[in-house]
Amino acid sequence: MDTSEIFDGLLANLKVGQKVAAIRARRDEITKALNKDFRGKDACVDYKLMIGSFGRHTAIKSISDLDMIFILPPGLRDGFSDANGPRRMLERVRNVLRARYTNTDIRVDQCVVRVQFASDAFKFEVQPVFENPDGSFDYPDTKADGWKTTKPRAEIAATKECNDRTSTNMRHLARMARAWKNANGVNLGGLVIDTLVYNFFTQTDDYDSANTATFDLMSRDFFAFLMDEPEKDYYLALGSRQRVYVKAKFQAKAKKAYNRCASAIENEGKTASVKKWREVFGTSVPLTVSEAVLKASASGLRTGTEEFIEDQYPVDITESVSIDCEVTQNGWRPLWLRAMGRVGVPLNAGKHLKFQVASCTVSEPYTLQWKVLNQGPEAERRNVIRGDIIDSTQPGIRKESSIFRGEHIVECYAIKDGIVVARDRIDVPITTTADV
């Protein structure tokens, strides 16, 4: 499989696709209900604007949060200008939508009204706004007890300008960056991603006319750009130049992605290359023909079949989870696996391994699932190849043991409202084999 085939397939698999019709239908239903209440108009779908990644056309198929603004009649502004005005406006919007969707979870969330459509596996965040003469909008903020200004039209325009200048590569790279985020648990907001992509194209014109045959080099250079970024609390968003805050550090994971890109490029044309691209961008990277046949033939077997969380849940990383592993053996003091790796202490067989959540930003309730991946010649010889998605042994913990030498991987997934919102991975390099 050549480079063009890999990236053509990746981009095709990332398209929002069939969700678009459902999103547009929900958007129009919401708008009609609000226009009926605020303007007395039936079946009116005006006075709305999709913003966020969907509005900037940088979204991918796993999108779960849809951002839209509803433009309020200007004559209402004075009546909601007091300190309690933002909350009263949001509550009015909430009540209108609750009357329209009687069995849907709808609630006020600081600056928006959140409408959780469980059957569609996505939610709308509806923001009522007043339009200003310069095209910006004032939106309600219940924490600030006032109205703040946002400039999504400037962000949409900057995205389009950059995309046109780069032969549509801006949006291609923004979607690929989202695939990397979701595959590797990188907690980056969509506007930060688009701003970083925009900044990347601002400092180089090497890929302004590139096609997918050189997207391998573009990916490598983009991750080199990310890993060299200084750590910041916020960026100035493309177009609007408003502050957009960074949720978590991304440089270390960008460096891992860069190294995987370099390895994939070195092994171009080989199965090993596709494997590395899948480590960077996830299961949306198409398999080679031989791998696809092997996966299909093994799909009915439990042993020897790796499962992928993307096949069981939508993945849209918006939070962070970090795992570590307590390593113990009778008569020895416990050690932590990540600390062992930092100082070069080997992990031998015959140890008890307790994988556990070290930190998690996901609010309760949520569930955890795990994958313990054993592969390679030793696993094949012992017929203990693993890769199933499994539950916790006890809350927040998965207990295992180190038995045989090889490279093992454990992943943890935090699932909330039917969506994987955080994930982490830890390598488990066992250096010796225990007698069994």
C-alpha torsion angle, residues 292, 294, 297, 298 (rounded to 10): -110
pLDDT for 406: 64
HEC profile for 203-244? CCCCCCCCCHHHHHHHHHHHHHHHHCCCCCCEEECCCCCCEE
> CB within 8 A of 188, min separation 6: which ones?
181, 196, 246, 247, 248, 250, 317
pLDDT for 298: 46
CATH of the domain at 119: 3.30.460.90
pLDDT tops 80 at residue 211: yes
Mean pLDDT of 268-292: 88
Domain interval for residue 42: 14-150
pLDDT for 18: 84
**Listed residue (316, 311, 321, 284) closest to 420, CA to CA:** 316
Amino acid, res. 58: T
Residue 166, CA atoms < 13 Å, CB-side half-sphere: 27
pLDDT tops 90 at residue 428: no
pLDDT tops 70 at residue 313: yes
Last residue of a domain, one of 299, 323, 340: 299
Number of domains in the chain: 3
Strands 419-430 and 406-416: antiparallel
Alpha carbons 285 and 212: distance in angstroms, whole number: 13
Percent of the chain with pLDDT over 70: 91
Residues 79 and 108 in one domain: yes
Strands 122-131 and 65-71: parallel
* Domain presence at residue 157: no
Report the chain's mean pLDDT, rounded to a whole number: 91
Tokens of 114: 């959140």
Mean pLDDT of 160-169: 98
* Domain presence at residue 72: yes
Structure confidence by residue, pLDDT tens digits, 217-272 = 999 999 999 999 999 999 999 999 999 999 999 999 999 999 999 999 999 999 99
Residues 180 and 128 in one domain: no
Indicate the range of 11-25, 183-197, 315-329, 347-361 predicted with least confidence. 347-361
**Cα 125 from chain centroid?**
17
Which pTM was predicted?
Answer: 0.91
Angle of the 3-14 helix axis to the 169-184 helix axis, nearest 10: 80
What confidence tier does 300 reach under pLDDT thresholds 50, 70, 90?
very low
130/433: higher pLDDT: 130
Percent of the chain with pLDDT over 90: 79
pLDDT tops 80 at residue 21: yes
Last residue of a domain, one of 241, 265, 299: 299
Structure confidence by residue, pLDDT tens digits, 22-55 = 999 999 999 999 999 999 999 999 999 999 999 9
pLDDT for 380: 56
pLDDT for 374: 80
Residues 308 and 293 in one domain: no
Alpha carbons 32 and 43: distance in angstroms, whole number: 5
Residues 294 and 356 in one domain: no
**Listed residue (190, 262, 188) closest to 229, CA to CA:** 188
Structure confidence by residue, pLDDT tens digits, 379-413 = 555 555 678 999 999 999 999 877 656 678 899 99
* Domain presence at residue 159: no
Alpha carbons 302 and 266: distance in angstroms, whole number: 33
* Domain presence at residue 395: yes
pLDDT for 384: 59
Q: Which residues of 326-353 are buried (b: 16+ CB within 10 A; e: fewer)?
A: bbeeeeeeebebeeeeeeeeebebebeb
Residues 292 and 310 in one domain: no
Residues 286 and 343 in one domain: no
pLDDT for 288: 76
CA 167-169-171 angle, to 5 degrees, is 120
* Domain presence at residue 6: no
Mean pLDDT of 66-88: 97
pLDDT for 145: 85
Is the link from the previous residue into 365 a cis peptide, with omega within 30 of 0?
yes
* Domain presence at residue 190: yes
pLDDT for 336: 92
Residues 243 and 175 in one domain: yes
Alpha carbons 424 and 362: distance in angstroms, whole number: 13
Residues 309 and 425 in one domain: yes
Structure confidence by residue, pLDDT tens digits, 112-164 = 999 998 777 789 999 999 999 999 999 999 998 899 999 999 999 999 999 99
**Listed residue (231, 241, 148) closest to 191, CA to CA:** 241
Task: State the first-to-last Cα distance of the chain, in angstroms, to the nearest integer.
Answer: 41
CATH of the domain at 365: 2.60.40
Residues 173 and 64 in one domain: no
Residues 377 and 404 in one domain: yes
Amino acid, res. 258: Y
Residues 344 and 424 in one domain: yes
Residue 136, CA atoms < 13 Å, CB-side half-sphere: 12
376/176: higher pLDDT: 176
* Domain presence at residue 317: yes
* Domain presence at residue 34: yes
pLDDT for 104: 93
Residues 250 and 340 in one domain: no
434/381: higher pLDDT: 381
Structure confidence by residue, pLDDT tens digits, 339-375 = 988 888 888 877 889 999 999 999 999 999 999 988 6
Last residue of a domain, one of 249, 269, 299: 299
**Listed residue (117, 116, 64) closest to 315, CA to CA:** 64
pLDDT for 403: 64
Strands 352-360 and 65-71: unpaired
